[in-house]
Amino acid sequence: MKLMSAASLAVLVMTAAACTTPRTKTMEVQAQTLAPAVAVNRFADLKLAEPDRNVPAYADTALDPLRAPTLTRFNSEAEFLSWLTLVREAASQRGVHNWRDMPVAMSAPTGVMDSAAMSPPPPPPPAMAMESAAPEEVVITGSTIPADPSNPEITNNQKAGVDEGGIVKQIGNHLVVLQDGRLFVTDLMPGGEPGLKLTDRANVYRSDQEDTWYDEMLVAGRTILVTGYSYGENASEFTVLKLGADGKVTREATFYISSDDYYSGSNYASRMIDGKLVIHTPIFTSGRGWWDAFDPPEIREWRKEGPEGEREHVRGRPLFRAEDIWMPVQRLLEPVIHTVTVCDISGATDSSAPLCESTAIVGTEFHEFLVTKDAFWLWMNPGWAEMSSESDGRYQACPERSGHAPVREIATSALVKLPISGDMPSVLSVRGMPQNQFSMDMDAGTFRAVVDWQSAACPVGWSTPATLTFFDAPMSAFTNTFTDAPGGRYVPLPSPGASSYEARFTEKHLVYGAREGWGTWAPGQGEAVRDDARAIIVPVDNPSWPVTVSVPHDVIRAERAGPYMALTGYRDYKGLSVSLIDLRLEEPAVASTLVMENRYESENRSHSFNSRIGADGKGLIALPTVSRSEESERWWWWSSSSDLSYLETDAAGKLSKAGELIATRRDPELESATGYECEVSCVDWYGNARPIFTGGRVIALVNSELIEGVHESGTVREIRRIDLTAKPD
C-alpha cells in the first residue's frame, strides 16, 4: 500500500473554551476568565521497562503503559507523537524493523518535496466547532438518500442491505457497467419493451494521462459513485455522477480521501448503506518518513488541471484530529490507524466535498473486517512483530498434543465494533484468526466466526491440516473495556482435513470445505486425481453437533444459493465440479454433484457467482467459465473473455446443465472491431464477467458485451446481445 507523506511540522494544541462564573440575584460576582486548560501528555516523560523477550510482544506487560484497555482517546497531537516515539523505541528494543522504514529521499515520490506539499495544513476545527457550525455547514448524521426500489440488488452481496462496490449496477430500467474508467449505460426497456440498447458512454476520468485505477461502483437512487485509487494524489478518488431518466450520465463532483492503496484481491473497498458511502482506510504509521508531525488524512475537492495538466495543491478538511483517535487496547509494535469514514454524498460538487464523519482507532496490521447495516466489525490479530519471541523450549508440548490447543496458548486478539452512526465503539477480547470476511457473520444479535486455532507456541507447516474453532458472542458481551481474558464462546470444530478452506454463513448454518494450498486451478491431464473433500455443516445455534459430508472434489468456492450451499472445485482435468448441500434437511446432506465437462472457473471474486432460486428450491445458478484448462487459474484480474455457464436445480437440489452464453472471443491486445480504445485503467483487477438476474430476465456481462438469454425447457439460450464498445445512439 502507498503511504501518505507527512506535510506538516506544526503541533496542534487542544484548548478548552473560556468559561465564566455565573451571576446570582443577590450578589454580583465579577466574571473571571480561566486560563486555557493544557492537555496532559501522559507519555512525555514515560520510561518503558525492559522488554521480556522470552514472551511474545502481545503478552509482554512492559508494553502495558502504551495501551488503554478502557477505550480512551489521545489527549493531543503532542501526546500522540510522544506515544508513537515510545512504540518505535519498544519495537527497536525487540529488533523489529518494518520494511516501510526507509530514508525520506528513497520513500518520497517525485514531486512530493515541493513547497506546497511541505507547507503546514490548516489546523482542524476544535471538536465543539462541529456542533456549533453555521447552518450551511451542519454535519448531517441521517441519510438523505433512502433505500430506493429502483436499485434492485443484482450483486451477490454478503449482507442484505449492505451494497458492495461492483462493476455492474442497476438504476431503474438501466444497467450501468464500469470498465476502463468509463461508464457504459444500457436501457433494458427501450420503447417500453424488453431489449438492450446503449444510451451513453461516459468517461469517469478527466484526462487520458490519469494514473488512477477505477475499480468499484455504487448506486443510490439515480446517484452513481465510482471509487478509484490515484497514485498521483496518494488518495482514494471518488466521483459522483447522476443518471438521467434518458439514460445519460452527468458528473457532479470528484473528491479525494487520503489513504494507502485500498486494493484487495478478495474483499471490496467500498459499501453503500442507506445511501451513504462507507469505506475503511488503514493508515500505516511505520516508516512514514517524517516522524515529527501528525498529518491527518483529508477529504478534498478536485481542482481543474491547467493547460499542461498541472494541478494546484489544495489542502482539504482533516477527517479527524490526533485527539479523536482511540488508543490501542492491544499490546503492539507496528501500529496502524484503522479509519472508517461515512460520507453523505448528496449535494457534493467540485467546490464542496461531501460531509464525512470518521472513526479512527489504533490497532494491529493483521486484520479482517465485516460490514453490517449498523456497524463495521474489525478483528485485529497480532502481527509477526507481536508474535515473535526468543523463548527456548516453547515447542516441547506441540508434538505430544492431539486436538485443540488450550485457550491460554492462543494469541490475544481484539474484536472492535465501530458503529456506522459514529457512536461510541465497543470491544471484546477474542482468540483465533478468521481467514477473511466470509469467516465472520453478525445475525440476530450475535456475532459469529470460524477461526484458525493455532497455538502461539506451536508452528505449523503450509500443509498442516487447519484446526478450527467456532466463536460466538452476544452484543451484550461488547463493552468499552478490553481484558486479556477471552470473551465469548469457543467450540472446537472438525478439521477440514487440509490446510486451506472456504467458508460461508447463513442465518442457521456455517458451511466450510477443504482444498489443498492456495491453488484454484484444475489438475492437468495425467496428474493425480484429487481426494474427496470434507464439507462440514455447523448449526450456529448448536455448534457442538456439526455434520460432516463428503464431496467428490476439492472446494475452491462456497456460496449461498437459495436454500442450498453451492461448493465448486476439481477432481481431475475433465472439468469443474459443482455440489449442492441442501440446508433444509434436519441433517443437511449433499443433494447432487455435477461435473461441467471442459468448463473451468475463470474468476474467483464472490460477485462472479450468482443465482436465482425460488422458495421451492428450483432455479438457476451461474458463474464465469472458460473452456481451456490453462486459463482456469482464476486470477484476481481477467482481461480476456469468459463465458457464462448456467446450471439448473430442481426442488430436490438435483443439478443439470443449462447451457452457456458464449462471449465473442477476442484477444484484448488486438484492435477492436468498433474502433474502441481503452485509455486508462485497462486491466480488470476486479474481473469483467458477471451473471445478472433482474426482473425475471437472464443477462450476462462478459468482457465488453451484454448478452441476454431466455431460460426455456431447461436450457438458457441467447436472444440478443450488444457490444458496449459501440457508439451509443
The secondary structure element, H or E, covering residue 252 is: strand 249-258
C-alpha torsion 323→325→327→330, nearest 10: -170
Bridge partners of residue 579, in order along the sequence:
567, 593
Radius of gyration, alpha carbons of the chain: 27
The secondary structure element, H or E, covering residue 83 is: helix 77-93
Q: What is the pTM of this model?
A: 0.86
Residue recorded with cell 470518521: 358
The pLDDT of residue 276 is 95
The confidence score (pLDDT) of residue 128 equals: 30
Collect all residues with Cβ–Cβ distance below 8 Å to 147 and sequence separation of at least 6: 161, 274, 275
Q: What digits encode the pLDDT tens for the residues 585-620?
A: 999 999 999 999 999 999 999 999 999 999 999 999
3-state secondary structure of 703: coil
Q: Which residues contact 95 (CB under 8 A, 6 or more apart)?
A: none
Distance CA 550, CA 441 (A): 25
CA distance 420 to 362: 18
Q: Which letter does DSSP use for residue 47 in this model?
A: -
Q: Is 45 exposed, middle or buried (0-12, 13-18, 19+ CB in 10 A)?
A: exposed
96-105: burial string, b at 16+ Cβ within 10 Å, e else: bebeeeeeee
Write down the pLDDT at residue 312: 64
Per DSSP, the chain holds a count of helices (H) and strands (E) of 4, 40
pLDDT at 289: 44
pLDDT the model gives residue 636: 53
* Nine cell digits for residue 264: 484487495
Phi-psi region of 696 (alpha: psi -120 to 50; beta: other; left: phi over 0): left
β-pairing, 575-582 vs 564-570, is antiparallel
The confidence score (pLDDT) of residue 209 equals 86
Residue among 601, 693, 701, 721 at smallest CA distance from 155: 693
On whether the CB atoms of residues 694 and 154 are closer than 8 A, the answer is yes
**Could you count the other beta carbons within 10 Å of the beta carbon of residue 16?**
13
Interacting residues of 198 by C-beta distance below 8 A, sequence separation 6+: 184, 185, 186, 187, 722, 724, 726, 727, 728, 729
Q: What is the pLDDT of residue 29?
A: 37
First to last CA, the chain: 41
Residue 482 CB burial class (10 angstroms; 0-12, 13-18, ≥19):
buried
pLDDT of residue 159: 96
DSSP class of residue 116? H
Q: Give every residue of the chain whose pLDDT is below 70, as ranges.
A: 1-37, 98-149, 287-293, 304-314, 391-397, 399, 461, 517-519, 629-638, 666-669
3 state DSSP class of 90: helix
**What is the model's pLDDT at position 464?**
83
Characterize the bridge pairing of strands 619-626 and 655-661: unpaired
